[in-house]
Chains A and B, each alone.
Chain A
Amino acid sequence: MSTLSVHDHGVAHHEEGHEHHHDTFLTKYVFSQDHKMIAKQFLITGITMAVIAMLLSILFRIQLAYPDKAFPLLETLLGRFAPEGRLDPEFYLSLVTIHGTIMVFFVLTAGLSGTFSNLLIPLQVGARDMASPFINMLSYWFFLTACIIMLSSFFIQKGPAGAGWTIYPPLSALPTAMKGSGLGMTLWLISMVCFVASSLMGGINYVTTVLNMRTKGMDLWKMPLTIWAFFLTAILGVLSFPVLVAGVVLLIFDRSFGTSFYLSDIVVNGQIMPFEGGSPILFQHLFWFLGHPEVYIVIMPAMGISSEVMSVNSRKPIFGYHAMVYSLIGITVLSFIVWGHHMFITGMNPFLGGVFMITTLIIAVPSAVKTFNWLATLWRGNIRFTPAMLFAIGMVSFFISGGLTGIFLGNAALDINLHDTYFVVAHFHLVMGSAAIFGMLAGVYHWFPKMFGRMMDEKLGYLHFWLTFIGAYLVFFPMHFMGLDGVPRRYYAFTEFASMQRWLSVNMFITWAAIMSACAQVAFLYNFIHSIFWGKKATQNPWQANTLEWTTPVERLHGNWPGELPTVYRWPYDYSKPGAEEDFISQITPLSQTMSSNLPHDFEDNPAGLEALNTWTNTQKANEEVK
């Protein structure tokens, strides 16, 4: 079990020492219970899944750009999924589905939260490990199982699930409806059950660790924004994933046991199905009750990471720390009462639609607060353009340009026109896709030294950033116009519809931009893998940051700090404090050591400290006068 729970038993203590000497390959790298190793496992699995999902997207982008051309290479690669070098239409739908599923769940939920919550929560709150390292380990193994099951669906006769990542019934509930509704869909559901189990175990651990295992002095208002973001993300997950489970359980009953929760009046291949009385809208309610919080599960960790990275690299305190926290809380609460905006065209009562519209638009307020605070943090800072900083700024850029179109889509009257068009595709790929990926990459570049003890190459980082940043805008920006023109998403060949043919040239442009961005990731992958083994050795605190993780030794011990846990005396954003010797003051530096930079508001609940400050200031003044 955990090293913590056995500390005071003599026998167990012996065992623990024993363990340290004989850390086998298996316990150190594979079935590790060390949160830092689990974080790396999540990261590497997440990156692998991201690369796979990206390749899938390139495949269907090729189809969209050249619907009439045959690529014999595709048949060589994909076999029956691309007969005569052209993608099978149903396989196209599977590609879209699996691309979405992997990106939303496996990369941006598990890969992002799994990596950085695991790495940073214990390190930044000053704990030796998670509340339950064992459950934490299980969380990773469930995640890996989910990944393997999801990918295994590419190796079955009928191919992977094809009903879209939202798996709406009836397509997902009738195994005979299409190729992708058969075994592929079953595997999707099994994989997702494993995934939810993994997410819940992770989330429960994160919440517990943040609330129970903060070190001395680390009150909630001294936590870095990263921790606030991971904490609230975990709460979102814990409350919303079980609802998806409920929806999926009912779906499984419909698929396999013949119930009619979601199905009614259905004819498949001229055959009338026995299902009666079900309501497909019920699934949408259950799904989006998870689905909407899910997009905040995706973006909030990215927000937290960007806040931290931007503050460190602007050498300025984050602007509006409390406002940042309250807006995160606001987003968390609001995210549970906006799911109806995904369902405006389901024949929803217009009054209810109006309510959902208002709650949706209110989310613009905390989002804007955060955006303005980021911009204000940059304002007149001593900005260091490290790759992490560039990605954090990129995240803000995508969040703004994707967020603006959210205001369009949140309006019921506009959404009825824009629903399921490329406008939606453009919106969410910018605001939660690119933004969250950029937040994640910012985190990778920033905490790479903490994870691997080495630095990543900056030049390759810049190359990676600029190509990806420009590439992502070139890919997603034109899609807005396609959507405004009424081009629906998920269509296989634009040549089949007269109204869509004029967009073929744009599609070709987008595809080439996507290929360029994909190539840019090679720079990242090379940099990442090369730096793990041969990167420049990192110092203990390479970015001169204040937070606790940089007070641990570079060697990354199990238990994090060699001696006692550090005590926290101040908030994490004392950058460029007037009067201080350096432009950063670590959280573990007591106020008594920084007399020249202390301010009256540092002693809000501490009259004795305030008195000491006043005495000190008066003495200084007196000395000045003597001179």
Chain B
Amino acid sequence: MAQTQQEDKINLGGKKFIMWIFIFTSFMLFAALTSGFIVYSGGSGHGLNITLPSSFRYSTIALVISSITLFMASRAAKRLDYDKQQRFLWVTISLGVAFLILQVYGWYTLAYKMHIYLVDPNATRSFVYVMTFLHLLHIIGGIIWLISTLNGSIKRIPQVQNLYRMEMTSIFWHFLDIIWIYLYVFLLLNQ
């Protein structure tokens, strides 16, 4: 029995490791986009030359706060306080959705207020759309994950699994937070 428990532990650890490597692959995707941006703007002499819409700033704040609330949810889960865990998960999910809406609103501002479209002879501007779009796809995945964790907690799945899901979701969500800050700072530096 001890042996099998040991194996079980190793396997869960393995799954967590899978998440980390997935994060590496995801990071490489965004790293490739930003390097592409640099190569393009260096080669063509185009710069971004726009002020990023203010909603990107608010969405950043929302995402950072969501990371904090997710951390609170994890802490509550570790202390077996499921109600608190669920409350914080709800807040995190709402903040995630708020981020999503703010990003889309950012596109709206870009296109309708500033008349900067996806199709632009200056492709650095198209890059803004592509980067935010791909990041948003990840965010949608993250929200689905958060919902399944919340669902698990409501259904009172065993604590081991609850913590495991919590941890996996946290790794992914914090990563999305960091990646967005990276992209945002990158765009700010290039604007």
Residues of A bordering B, CB below 8 Å: 2, 4-5, 7-8, 128, 131-132, 135, 200, 203-205, 207-209, 211-213, 238-243, 245-247, 249-250, 253, 257-261, 276-279, 281-282, 285-286, 289, 564
Contacts and interface: CB of A to CB of B under 8 A. Distances in A.
Contacts of B10: 4, 212-213
Interface string B31-67: 1110110011001101000000000000000000000
A420 B21 CA distance: 36
Given A7-B7, A238-B28, A259-B126, 6 more contacts: A132-B18, A238-B24, A242-B28, A250-B130, A259-B123, A282-B36
B36 to A, nearest CB: 6
Given A257-B118, A259-B118, A260-B119, A246 B36 contact: yes
Given A238-B21, A286-B36, A5 B12 contact: yes
A257 B126 CA distance: 11
A245 B123 contact: no
Contact of A247 (B14, B21, B22, B32): B32
A242 B25 contact: yes
Closest 9 CB pairs of A and B: A131-B14, A276-B121, A246-B32, A242-B28, A277-B121, A7-B4, A243-B32, A242-B29, A212-B14
13 contacts: A7-B8, A131-B18, A200-B22, A200-B25, A213-B14, A241-B25, A247-B36, A259-B119, A259-B123, A261-B127, A277-B44, A277-B46, A279-B40
B15 A132 contact: yes
A203 B17 CA distance: 12
Contacts of A4: 7-8, 10-11
Given A204-B21, A243-B32, A253-B126, A131 B43 contact: no
Given A209-B14, A261-B126, A279-B43, A246 B119 contact: no
Contacts of B126: 253, 259-261
Nearest to A253: B130
Nearest to A564: B3
Interface of B is mostly: helix
A249 B11 contact: no
Identify the interface centre among B8, B11, B118, B130: most chain A CB within 10 Å of its CB.
B11
A2 B3 contact: no
A142 B1 CA distance: 36
Contacts of A279: 39-40, 43-44, 123
A276 B46 CA distance: 12
B114 interface: no
B1 to A, nearest CB: 7
B188 interface: no
Nearest to A130: B14
Contacts of A203: 21
B156 to A, nearest CB: 16
Contacts of B29: 242-243, 245-246
Contacts of A240: 28
Contacts of A131: 11, 14-15, 17-18
Interface of A is mostly: helix
B137 to A, nearest CB: 10
A276 B119 CA distance: 10
A148 to B, nearest CB: 24
B181 to A, nearest CB: 19
B43 A281 contact: yes
A321 to B, nearest CB: 26
Interface of B: 1, 3-5, 7-8, 10-15, 17-18, 21-22, 24-26, 28-29, 31-33, 35-36, 39-40, 43-44, 46, 118-123, 126-127, 130, 134
B96 to A, nearest CB: 23
A5 B8 contact: yes
Contacts of B17: 131, 207-208, 211-212
Identify the interface centre among B3, B12, B36, B39: most chain A CB within 10 Å of its CB.
B36
Given A8-B5, A257-B119, A204 B18 contact: yes
B18 A135 contact: yes
Nearest to B33: A246
A277 B18 contact: no
Contacts of B13: 212
A135 B15 CA distance: 10
Contacts of B35: 285
A282 B12 CA distance: 41
A225 B73 CA distance: 45
Given A131-B14, A212-B13, A238 B25 contact: yes
A242 B11 contact: no
A242 B26 contact: yes
B110 to A, nearest CB: 14
Nearest to B25: A242
A260 B25 contact: no
A266 to B, nearest CB: 13
A286 B8 CA distance: 40
Contacts of A8: 1, 4-5, 8
A418 to B, nearest CB: 25
Contacts of A286: 32, 36
A618 B47 CA distance: 79
A429 B3 CA distance: 49
Nearest to B2: A8
Given A205-B18, A242-B29, A285 B39 contact: yes
Nearest to B30: A246
A211 B134 CA distance: 30
A200 B18 CA distance: 11
Nearest to A259: B126
Given A208-B17, A277-B121, A2 B11 contact: yes
A378 B28 CA distance: 41
A531 B44 CA distance: 59
Contacts of B40: 261, 279, 282
A131 B13 CA distance: 9
A204 B35 CA distance: 24
Nearest to A212: B14
B28 A239 contact: yes
A564 B4 CA distance: 10
Contacts of A257: 118-119
B25 A204 contact: yes
A76 B134 CA distance: 46
Contacts of B118: 253, 257-259
B152 to A, nearest CB: 15
Nearest to A252: B130
A260 B125 CA distance: 10
Contacts of B119: 257-260
A242 B32 contact: yes
